[in-house]
Structure formats: C-alpha cells, structure tokens
Amino acid sequence: MASKFWAASSSEEESEEEVTTSEEETSSDEGSSSDSDSSSSSSSSSSGSSRKKGASRFLMGSSDSESEDERRVVRSAKDKAYDELRATCNEIKNKMHINDWAAIQTLFDKLNKQLERTQKVTQSLGVPRAYVRMLCELEDFLNKTLAEKPKLSPTNTRALTRMKQTLRKHNAAYTEQMRLFRENPVSETEEEAPSSSESESEESGSERELNTEEEEEAKFKSVRTGVVQRPKDKLLTMDPKEITYEMVQKKLQEIAMARGKTTRIDRQEQIEMLTYLSGVTKGPVQKLEVLINVITVTFDMNQPTQNAMTVPNWNRCAQTMFDIMVLLDENRHITLTDTPPEEERIEEPEAGTPTQVWGNLGAFLERLDDEWNGSLKALDPHANEYMERLKDEAVLLALAQKVSDYLQAHNELDKLAGVALKRIQHFYYKTDVVYAAMRKLALQRQQDSAEAPEAPTAALDAEVVDGEEAEGATELIVVKIPHDFNIPESCAELVEQLARVVYAHGNDNQKGQAMLCTVYFRCIRDDFYGARDTLLMSRIQEQTGQLDAKMQVLYNRTIAQLGLSAFRAGLIFECHQCLMDLYGTGRVKELLAQGIQQHRFQEKTPEQEAAERRRQVPFHMHINLELLESTYLISAMLLEVPAMASSQSTDVRKRVISKPLRRLMDNYERQSFTGPPENVRDHVMAAVRSLATGDWRRAYSYVTALSCWSLLPQKEAVLGMLRNKLQEEGLRTYLLAYGRFYSSLSIAQLCDMFELPERKVHAVVSRLIADDGLPASHDQPTGTIVVHHVEPTRLQTLAGTFSDKASLLVDLNERALAMRTGALHTDDDDGDGRRGHDGAQGGRRTRLGGRLGGVGGFGGRGGRGGRGGRFGDRERGSGFMPAEGFAGGVFGRGRGRRTSMQRDSNFTELGQFGGSARRGRT
Amino acid sequence: MAQYDLTPVLAKHLDRHLVFPLLEFLGTRALYDAADIEAAKLQLIEKTNMVDYAVDIYQQLNGTDEVPESLLQRRVDVVSKLKSLESAVKPITEFLSNEDNVKLLKQDKTQNQAFLLKEFQIGPEQVDALYHFAKWNFECGNYSAAAEYLYHYRTLSTNPERTVASLWGKVAADILLQEFGSAMDDILKLKELIDVDTFAPVAKQLQQKAWLMHWSLFVFFNHESGLNALIDLFMQDRYLTAIQLTSQHLLRYLAVAVVVNKRRRNVLNDLKRVVAQEAYEYSDPVTEFVRCLFVDYDFDGAQAQLAKCEEVLENDFFLVAAKDAFMEAARQFLFENYCRIHQAISIRSLSEKLSMDEEATEKWIVNLVRNARLNAKIDSKAGTVVMQTQTLSAYEQLLERARGLGLRTLDLSNAVFGAMRA
C-alpha cells in the first residue's frame, strides 16, 4: 500500500526528531508528575533539574534518565522502548490524518502494550509525556470527528464508536496527567524547535540550582516512588482525637478493596496509612483488623513465585505478627476465623464479648516461612548476608511457637498440625551441635530484645509521626523475640513432641512429611535402625510415585541420610541399598534438589526449570554431595570387588551389584593413561583396582586421601571401620581370585598379609567355604587351608557349557509357552518353570495385597495387615503411631522381606517429576 | 545371669495367674533375692482373689502373724461377691450338673437358648452370670471349676467376644491345671479365631498373636509334640512378623526348638535370617550361638556362647527341661559345621571346643560316624579326625545340571499338544 510506505518513511523522519527530544520529554514528564502538588513549577524547569550536576542528579537518574551524550552512543533498552512508543504515536497521528479508525484502534492497543513494557524497563510507574500528548490529541481528534461526522466506511464507523468507549474508559486513569499537559503544553513548542531545547534547559538548570536543598530533597523522594503523589490523606493530618471508628473502618475497607486490583497502587503508602491507623484505633478488635491488613498488604508487595520478600518487609510482617499475638493474648475474647465477617462492624464491640476477626495465623506464618526460605535461596550462601538471614530463624521459631500456643488454646487442631510441621521442618536437619548453636543465638537475641525493649517501638512511632520517613524507619525494625519464647535443650524431645501433634491432627501429607522428617532426624543422630524401622513402618516407599515433588525431595533426602547413617554404623550392605537408586539414575542433584543438572538429551521447558528452581533446598540444608558420592562408591566397591573376583574364578555370571561403579570401571580401563587420582571417582577407582588384587593397604590409603571425611564428626571411627572392611573384603577377594592357584595357604601368612587376627581369618575363610563355594577346607593340625580346586578338562568345560545352553533352551521354551497360554511367567529367579503360573499369580496377589493394605490403612488382606503395624505396642515406636487412616499405617511384608522390599521399591521413579524422565531409566 | 532372665518381659504378655509358676520357679533358683520374689508374688496376687494365699505370703514376708486390714476387707468382699454370683448361676449350674440335661443341648446355639429359656427358665442373664462366675472362680484360684464352667459357657454363649475371652480363660485354666492336651487343642482353636479376625485393629491383632505365642510356651514345652507345634506356629509368616515386631525375645525359644528338633532342619535357614536381622534388637546366648555358628562361622564364639547357654537354659522356666537335649544337639551342630569346612581336626582341640574330655570326644565322634552322619575317620596315631571331603566330580556336576531337563521337556511337549488339541 502506498499509504503505508509513505507512513513508514514519515515516521522514520519524525522518530529521528523524537530521539533528540526524548530526553527532555521523559524527564519533564517525570518532573511534572512529581510536581503535582506544586504545580506552579513548569515542566521545562523540572526537565532542567534532571540535567543538573551534583548528587541529586544521580539520584534522579536512578528512576529513568541518562545523560544525553551517553545515550547517543549506546541505545539502552529504555531508550529503545521510548523510541518504539514514540514511533507508534506518530503512526497513530498519520492514521488520524486519513481518518483510518480501524488502524488507530489496533495501534492504540499496541501503544498501551508498549507503555507497559516501557514502564517495566524503566521500572517506574510514570507515564512518558509523549503518551499523554497522544492521549490528548486522540481525544481532541475524536471529539472533532464526532462533531463533524464525516462520511466513513462501516468498518471505520464501528471502530470509531469502539474507540470512543475505550478512550473514555482509558483516559479516566490519566485525567490528572492530561490536565497538566493541557495546562502546560510547552513541550509541544519544544518539539517544533528541538534545537532551542538545549539552551532552554541549560538556563532552567542554572535557575534550578538556586533552589533550596529541602525542595530537592522532597523532589527526590517523590520521584523515587515513581507514582503520582496523591494529595495527602486528610486522615493523616487530622487530630487523632477526631478520628472516629467509622473513619478508620472506611479507610480499612478502602484498602481492602484495593487488594489485588491493580499494580498501580502504592503499597508503601498503604502501609504507612495502616501503621498510622493502628495508632489511632478505637479498640483491640479494630487494631487487630488494621494489623492484619498490614500483613496482607505487605504480602501483596511481592510475588512469591518470582522474588522473595525484602528483609525490611519481612521484619515488619514478623513484628506485626508478634503484635497481633500480644493483642490476642491480652484479649482472649477475640478469635480469628477464616471466613470474612458477613456484615461489617459499625462500632467497636464491647470489651469481653466474644468477637471474631478475619485472619489466618497459620497461613500468615506459612507465607512468612516460605518467604524466608525464598530469600535464602536468592542469597549467595557463602556471603555474610546468608548468615545474617539465617539468624532470623529464631524469630520465625518464636513466632511459630506463639502461633501454635494460640491455636492450641483455641483448639484449631488442623492448623496446629500445619504449624507443628513447619516447626519440625526447621529442626529435622539440625545436628545437635547446630541446634545448640542456634539455641544459643536465639537466647542471646531474646536477651538483647529484652534489654532494649523500647527501641523498635520507637522506630514504629517515628514512622507514624512522619509518614515520609517510613522507608528509612523500616530498615530499623528489629524484631523482638518475646521473653516467653523458650527453646528446649533437647531437640529430640521437641521434634518428637511436634511429630506427635502432626500425627494426631494432620492430614496424610503432613503426617508423611513429619514422619520423613523424624526419620531424617534419627539418621543424623546415628540411629539407623530406629530410622529404618520408622520408615519401613510407614510403607511410604510404596507410594513414592504418587507423592508430590516436594515430598519426593524430602524422601530422597531422607534416604540419602539413611544411607550415610548406615555407612557410619558400618552397615555397608544397607548403605548400598539406600544409595543405589539415588545414584543409579545419575541425577543426584536433581533428586536431592541441590542444584540444577543439565542433561544432554533432554531440554527442559522454562516452566520445568522454574519449578525445579522453586523446589531447591536452601543451602544450609544441603547434604554434602561429595561425601554422599564417596560413601556410595566405597560401599559399592566393598560389595562389588569380591563379587567380581568370585565370578571371574567360577565363570558364573553373577548379578552386577552396582551399575554405576561398573560403568566407572569401564571408563577407567578404557583410558590409555591414568594420572594420579584427583576427584572422588578417581580415588575410588584407584582403590578398586588395588583391592581387586587384594592390596588393601593401598586401597585404604586411596580412600583415606579423600578430603570429605573431615566432614564427619566421628572421622576416626569411620576410617577404622573402613580399614576393617577393606581388610576383610581384601582377604575375600584375594582368596576368591587367587585361591585356585594355590594348593594350600597358611593361615598365619594370611593373618600377616591382611593384619587380621587368626580368628577373623578363620571365620572369613569358613564362610567362604560354606556359603560362597570356595573349593577348600581347613586343615587344623597344620593351620593351613587346603584347596581342592581341579581345573576341568576341555571336554568337561564344553559339556558344562552345553548343558547350560540346553537348560536355557528349555527355560525359554517354557516361557514362550507360558506367554502363549496367557500366564506371563514373571518370576525370573524361579528356575523351575513348571511353577511359573502359580508363582506369577501369587506374586501378583501379594502385590495387590500390599496395595490394599497401603491405601486403606488396614483391611483387605487381614494377614498382611496383621503383620504390619509395627507401632502399636512398641515402646520405642509408640510415639510414632500414625492414625489408622494414614496410608502408610501398615508395613506389609514384614521385616523378613526387607532387603527385597528395598530392591523393588518404586524408588527409581523418584524425582522423575512429571513423568517425563521415565525414559532415562529404560 | 539375671540379665538373660526373661521373666519380666514374658510377664507383660501373660495372665497374672500364669506368671505365678514362673515366680515359683525363680524361687527355686538363686537368681534373685528370695524376699524380692515373695514381694513380687504378693504384688501379683493382690489383684486376684486368692486372698488367703496373699495373707500367707504377707505373713511370711513380714515375719508376722498379723493380717493387714485391707486384705481382711478384701476377703469379705470376695466371699460376698462369690455368694451373690453363686446364687445367680444356681439354675444353670444345677442344669449342667445333670449329665442327661447336657446331652439335650444341640449344636445350634440359638436353638439351645430358646430351649433353655422354655424348659429351665435359663435366660441370657444366667448364661452371662456363668461367665462371671467362672471368671470369679479363676480369680480365686479354683481353676478346675473355672475350666468346666467356661467350657459350658462356650457351648451356650452367643456373644462372640465373650466366647473368645472364655477360650483364653479356658487355656489359662488348663495350663494351670497342667492339662496340656486340652490346652493344646484350645490353643489351636484360639489361633484359628485370631487368624480369622482380620478386621480388628492392627495393634490388637499383634497383641493377641504375641499373647498366644507366650501362653503357648507353657503348652509346647510340656506337650510331647510341642516343639514341632511351636516351630509350626512361630514360623508362620504372620507370627514370625509379630515376633519381630513386638517380642523378639521369643526367638530364644524358637531357636532352642529348632536346634533341638533334628527333623526340622529346613527351617534353620529362616531362623538364621531372623536371628541375624534382629541381632540389633535382641540377643542372648542362645541366639548368639545361632548367629556365631551359622552366620559368622565363628566357632570359638559359638563355643563361648554355648557354655553360657547352659546356664541360661537352666534358669529358664520353659527351657530347663530341654536343656540337655539342646546342649547335645547344639554340640552336634557345632561339630558338623566344623567338620564340613575342615579336612583334618585334632581331637584335642575338638574336645576343647565341645567342652568334653578327649576320651569322651573320641567316643562321641565314633558314635556320630557310625550313625552315618559323618564321613570321617579317626587317625588315632596323629590324634586327628580326617574328613573325607566329597567334592562333586565334573561328571557328577554335569549330571546335576542336566537333571530334570528331560522331564521338563516332556512336560513342555505335553502342554503344547494339549494346547493344540484344545
């Protein structure tokens, strides 16, 4: 279209002009908005102020402006946004010339979108002057067109009427700016003569310098908030005595109505208003309402999914919560309810009458807790701020205690369970040392706040008196910890007590979480058996697939700790069982939510990534991955190396115990040159190679060289245990690998080689002979081991192979038949194929029984149920008896099947969030 | 040795009256102070109605002839209660005392109820009274009467809960009367009832199983086929779990039963597994012996434990009778396992391990060899036992592997033909 071409070229010309004037325009716009209370000062003069040299200029710059010459070199995002905006304005102007209302309409929409973007980029809520001008022009033109009623096409007429409506609605928000603009359309002349603006602004700049310091100060403040300053509310200027209940209530309602409506409200201002109101309320009920509103408004100031609450805001919330708690404590007749009151109060209820006020302390606390966690995630864990922030935990705990006291007193048990769970979540990962330190800190802080009780309130008062300084004052808020906050000496008791509360009143999810937390808690206190039994009792491992991501993470963390605890206790097999699935997937970081892993074959959508980021565990709760990896690999090594030796010597292919370890070994062997070990894997690989030849000493030295052992408080004991295990497994490996090359071995020599007492060697050898089929026997009088191994002849070997193949063939045939006839033969270990059908059915039934038991708590198969429920009469576990409804109430297969249970748990499906990662496993 | 005494643990799962024999037994051992035991007895008896006996013990304990006021008062209460109960059950006891009447009763309980009400004016209240009366008798130590009344009550009662309770009472009474035959039957009945009742809360089921196992100890160790029954009961999946969950100390009895019972070698593997699994929860010389011998192959350890076992068994109410059998069987086990992994053993060291002198050891070994349990020869010049190791030759191994292939193939082909025909 010709017109389009023309329009494009013209807009280009004009936009160039615009670029030069943009600076003045925007800044003048800022100025005009800032000067709304003193409208006498012209926009041109205020534009000069932005160019003024000195400190205030840089402060102003924080909102939007940059120096002109700089902008010419590099076009920042801001400038680009402005330019685009302006280009659209020009286009609209062009369309106005040809009366193309349909185009105007679309362009207007585009303009509004651009405005939004501009505001985002410049991080100000101010409106560029160009936009206001456009609005004015559009309005004028619209009125003109309506008055003239020119002949238009139907589409255009329709667009015109629609435009009329939109504009009317839209302009309502900008009446103030438009009025200002119309009063003072100087910039329009500026536009006509852009060259003059330079000198003009220079002049005004010098003029401006004469202004007093105070004025500048005031300007800075208002500019920074970046919104139109509303005329000061008359409430603030009124004599506090004259403020009635109704007035406060009205104001409150106004604020409540504004909630969630638009982003254009200055929440800071609302808070100032509310804090002021809280000082002039007419009674505890109203004060409570005001305080609750303070909290909700503060909560609205950030979006929890995007960024965390600022520390001052957080502190304010916490302090307000404390105030609420005190207030509630003093006025026992007031209770909080979830449902908002149906009719509003007209006057303060009389003291002593039971009153209900809207508010949910549990939810507030939860949000506060989330925000605290969120802010921790946003901070650099190695910086000092992180530590500072961590110290606020005491505040949170004190608050939680207060809230749970309140909930207990008012018998709100379901919420109480939620709060108890939150409290557990602050304790469960703390070792005794950490807990003691935290306790000390909390007590210290409590003492401090007791000594200086007036300071924070003074700060609050100051805020009330001078709303302008609110921002400064909030920085000063130091949350007091009330004097009656007590943090018990023994963490274990506290956790158990809280867990009881959750078990008694919580829902399934909460109970599960509390249970996992207690298991974790026991793990880090080296109570492996207690932890394992509690975990198995809950049967949670059967439902890991159905858990939500957060709980899966918790589950994985618990399992990891269980493994570590087993390792410390010297239970290598159990340790390997626990950690196997975690490491089998190769995505440990993701499973433990301790960092984002990138995968080669899998692209994550931004949503997935954001979700993952949100799940992350704060740094201070992390499980050391290096330690975990060493633990896993070493336990795998201790199990795998003798197994490998045995399979090599007997030609029987045994099951691979640890796939990750095997993979590492393959990699290692493929390398042509191997340097000295550097990381955990290198070390373990080196140890594996030494141990495979029975050289336990070198293996031990490699293992001890790992730095992560220093993280263990009981380092010596663990290393001693490792040494023992290495000696034993070294002996086993040695005998299995090289036994057949001896006709007899002296026990004394073996003792010497492996530095083991004779009794131990005897026991190890005996077990090898009896269980693992080492073809040897003791000769007691001479103290030797006689090996009976006879190498089979070639014919014998071949015959053996043949018979193996034949039996394999029969097996396969049986399976094929079973498939055909419908009954799938699933039981691999069952060598006897004839039992296939029954076996498979039986297996299925067991599984089903387990499910039933799991879901219904108890029922279905009574026997199964009967075998479960380890809690009941156990003293040790008595506190951990979730109610019957708890899905994990029974532990189905009994402890006899423990190992197999762990093997076939759904564990591997863990953390395959959204089911997307299944293919990783297959 | 008191550390291995299970009486306090067992007592938690037993009826008051059943604890009594345990205490009596302890009184004959020197494990505890005699006065302590008497005091325990008194405490035990105070809650029962055996007031006269309580008075006796009290006097013995305090060395006085005085009778405490509370006991006197209690005696009066008991007697008066007994009187009132007696009058309440009079019609029914009269009815039951006549053999012919009892024969009139049918299988169907509801029918019986109607019949009794019509013919003898015996309603449910009287039947209930019978139950209470039986209970009262039991509390008074009148076990035979209690057993009889409970037996009749069970035939008449329609209340399922009470029926179970009466069965428990019957078992207790039988045990205390030392009628182990009928007790055994009742135990089995009780077991059925418990197994059927799958809708009870898990905790209750567990508790009942634990109780049943504890009570059955009295029977199993006194009945001739008791050990077999014990293994059968305890090795059942549900009961084994109950042991693992609530009463690991029962493993001692299970272990003894398994070791003594030579015909039940097949359960040995289960025992090994359970003992090893529960080692962190419970261990005593008996289970330790099993663990050392079968799990760790620590023969010296096993030997040491065996020596302790003797003492433990001697002080265990239930096991004292099985002590010799156990020691003998355990020695055999030890020796067998030892031989299995040895080529040559000197008789001297063996005699030390078995805690016998050399002569006796030699004799013992000869006996074993003669009974064909061992393939061994004694080299008397060197003073050693030489084992004839029987490793399978390659030929035999091959046969072993191919065994059954033919049959399986035949089955397979039959199945194929069957499928084709169908």
Answer whether A781 sits within 8 Å of B384, measured CB to CB: yes
pLDDT at site A343: 62
Q: In what order do the strands lie in the sheet with A744-746?
A: A744-746, A784-787, A776-779, B342-346, B384-387, B376-379
Report the candidate in A655, A667, A668, A657 with the shortest Cα–Cα distance to residue A635: A657
pLDDT-wise least confident of A651-665, A776-790, B96-110, B271-285: B96-110
**DSSP-assigned letters across all residues of A345-414:** -SSPPPTTS-EEEE--HHHHHHHHHHHHHHHHHHS-TTSHHHHHHHHTHHHHHHHHHHHHHHHHHTT-HH
Judged by CB atoms closer than 8 Å, whether chains meet at B389 and A777 is answered as yes
Contact A788, B343 (CB under 8 A): no
Q: Which band of pLDDT confidence, cut at 50, 70 and 90, is reported for residue A521?
A: very high
Provide the β-strand partners of residue A778. A785, B342
pLDDT at B320: 84
Higher-pLDDT residue of B290 and B51 is B290
Say how far apart CA B118 and CA B124 lie, in whole Å: 12
Q: Which two tokens stand for residue B305?
A: 């434990």
For A602, the 3-state DSSP assignment is strand
pLDDT of A29 > 60? The answer is no
Range of weakest confidence among A391-400, A798-807, B122-131: B122-131
Question: Considering only A721-735, B257-271, B374-388, which range has the smallest mean pLDDT?
Answer: B374-388
CA–CA dist B8, A920 (Å, integer): 55
What pLDDT sits at residue A887? 30
Spell out which residues of chain B touch residue A522, defining contact as CB-CB under 8 Å: none
Which residue from A775, A834, A866 is facing B198, i.e. has the nearest CB? A866
Beta bridge partners of A785: A745, A778
A896–B245 CB contact, under 8 Å: no
CB–CB of A702/A683 below 8 Å?
Answer: yes
Query: Residue A14: which of A129, A103, A130 has the closest Cα?
Result: A130
Given a cut of 50, is residue B32 above it in pLDDT? yes
Q: Is 50 exceeded by the pLDDT of residue B182?
A: yes
- A218: pLDDT strictly greater than 60: no
Say if the Cβ atoms of A872 and B342 lie within 8 Å.
no
- Residue A336, helix vs strand vs coil: strand
pLDDT score recorded for residue A651: 60
Question: Mind giving me the DSSP string for B43-85?
Answer: HHHHTSS-HHHHHHHHHHHHT-----HHHHHHHHHHHHHHHHH
Q: Say if CB A423 and CB A439 are below 8 A apart.
A: no
Task: Kindly provide the b/e burial profile for residues A692-715, where b requires at least 16 CB atoms within 10 angstroms of the residue's own CB.
Answer: bbbbbbbbbebbeebeebeebeee
pLDDT > 70: percent of chain A: 66
At A745, give phi and psi (nearest 5°): -125, 140
Q: List beta partners, residue B387.
A: B376
How open is the CA angle A784-A789-A793, to the nearest 5 degrees?
160
Residue B36 is predicted with a pLDDT of 82
What is the reported pLDDT for A485? 73
Asked whether residue A429 carries a pLDDT value surpassing 80, the answer given is yes
Distance CA A120, CA A102 (A): 28
Sign of the torsion formed by the C-alpha atoms of B221, B223, B225 and B231: negative
Closest alpha carbon within chain B to A885: B201
CA distances (Å), origin B125, targets A141, B79, B103, B105: 103, 21, 22, 18
Count interface pairs A-B at CB distance under 8 A.
161
Comparing A113 with A892, which gets the higher pLDDT? A113
Q: Are B165 and B150 in contact (CB under 8 A)?
A: no
- Is the pLDDT assigned to residue A567 strictly greater than 70? yes
Q: What pLDDT score was predicted for residue A645?
A: 86
What is the predicted pLDDT for the residue at A475? Answer: 42
In this complex, do A792 and B277 lie within 8 Å of one another by their Cβ atoms? no
Residue A845 has pLDDT above 50, yes or no: no
For chain B, the structural domain boundaries read 48-177
CA nearest to A788 within chain B: B391
Q: What's the whole-number mean pLDDT along residues A366-395?
A: 85
Question: What's chain A's Rg over C-alpha atoms?
Answer: 38
pLDDT per residue as tens digits for the range B300-335: 888 888 888 888 888 888 888 888 888 888 888 887
The reported pLDDT for the residue numbered A852 is 24
What pLDDT does residue A719 have? 92
Look at B198 and A47; give whichever has higher pLDDT. B198
pLDDT-derived band at A722 (thresholds 50, 70, 90) equals very high
Asked whether B354 and B304 are in contact (CB, 8 A), the reply is no
Indicate whether A901 pLDDT > 50. Answer: no
Q: How confident is residue A237, by pLDDT bands cut at 50, 70 and 90?
A: low
Rounded average pLDDT over B346-357: 78
The winner for highest mean pLDDT among A410-424, A469-483, A716-730, B90-104 is: A716-730
Long-range CB contact pairs, A191-199, < 8 A, 24+: A191/A17, A191/A21, A194/A17, A194/A20, A194/A21, A197/A21, A197/A24
Query: Which SS3 state, helix, strand or coil, does residue A671 take?
Result: coil
Closest Cβ–Cβ partner in A780, A788, A861 for B389: A788
The stretch A471-489 carries a mean pLDDT of 62
Find the mean pLDDT for residues A479-487. Answer: 72
Cβ of B298 and A874 within 8 Å? no
- Does residue A66 register a pLDDT over 60? no
CB–CB contact B402 A861 (8 Å):
no
Is A351's pLDDT higher than 80? no
Residue bearing the bigger pLDDT, B77 or A900: B77
Residues A526-535, mean pLDDT to the nearest whole number = 88
User: Do the Cβ atoms of A435 and A384 come closer than 8 Å?
Assistant: no
Nearest to B175 by CA among B46, B48, B317: B317
| A849 three-class SS | helix
Is the model more confident about B2 or about A701?
A701
Best to test chain B binding among A820, A825, A891, A895 (most B CBs inside 10 Å):
A895
Taking the alpha carbons at both ends of chain A, their separation in whole angstroms is 58
pLDDT of residue A74: 55
ipTM rounded to 2 decimals: 0.76
Residue A907 tokens, joined: 């564990």
Average pLDDT, rounded, for chain A: 70
What pLDDT does A701 receive? 93
| 3-state SS, residue A169 | helix
Start-end of H helices in A1-100: 2-34, 43-51, 55-61, 68-73, 77-97
Write out chain B residues lying below 8 Å of A767, CB-based. 296-297
pLDDT score for A638: 92
Choose between A728 and B81: higher pLDDT: A728
Query: What is the structure's pLDDT at A836?
Result: 33
DSSP state letters, A228-252: PPPPPPHHHHS-GGG--HHHHHHHH
> Does the distance separating the beta carbons of B415 and A896 come in below 8 Å?
no
Cα dihedral sign, A594-A596-A602-A605: positive
Q: What is the pLDDT of residues B274-297, one digit of tens each?
A: 888 888 888 888 888 988 888 888
Ranked by mean pLDDT, the top range of B95-109, B276-290, B336-350 is B276-290
pLDDT over 50 (residue A348): yes
Q: CA-based angle A555:A560:A565, to the nearest 5?
A: 120
Lowest mean pLDDT across A303-317, A412-426, A702-716, A822-836: A822-836
Which stretch, A15-19, A261-265, A671-675, B211-215, has highest mean pLDDT?
A: B211-215
Q: Could you tell me the pLDDT band of residue A628, with boundaries at 50, 70 and 90?
A: very high
Nearest to B335 by CA among B313, B358, B361: B361
Measure A905 CA to nearest chain B CA, in Å: 20
Q: Do A894 and B241 touch (CB under 8 A)?
A: yes
Question: Which residues, including other chains, have CB under 8 Å from residue A920's CB and lie 6 or more apart?
Answer: A585, A587, A599, A602, A912
Lowest mean pLDDT among A69-83, A443-457, A579-593, B248-262: A69-83
Answer whether A82's CB lies under 8 Å from A124's CB: no
Between A256 and A189, where is the model more confident? Answer: A256
Most confident residue range from A861-865, B249-253, B405-409: B249-253
- Measured CA angle at A421 (ends A417, A425), to 5 deg: 170
CA-based nearest distance A697→chain B, Å = 24
A501's tokens: 């509360």
Residue A873's pLDDT is: 31
pLDDT tens digit string along B353-392?
A: 767 788 888 888 888 777 756 677 888 888 888 877 666 6
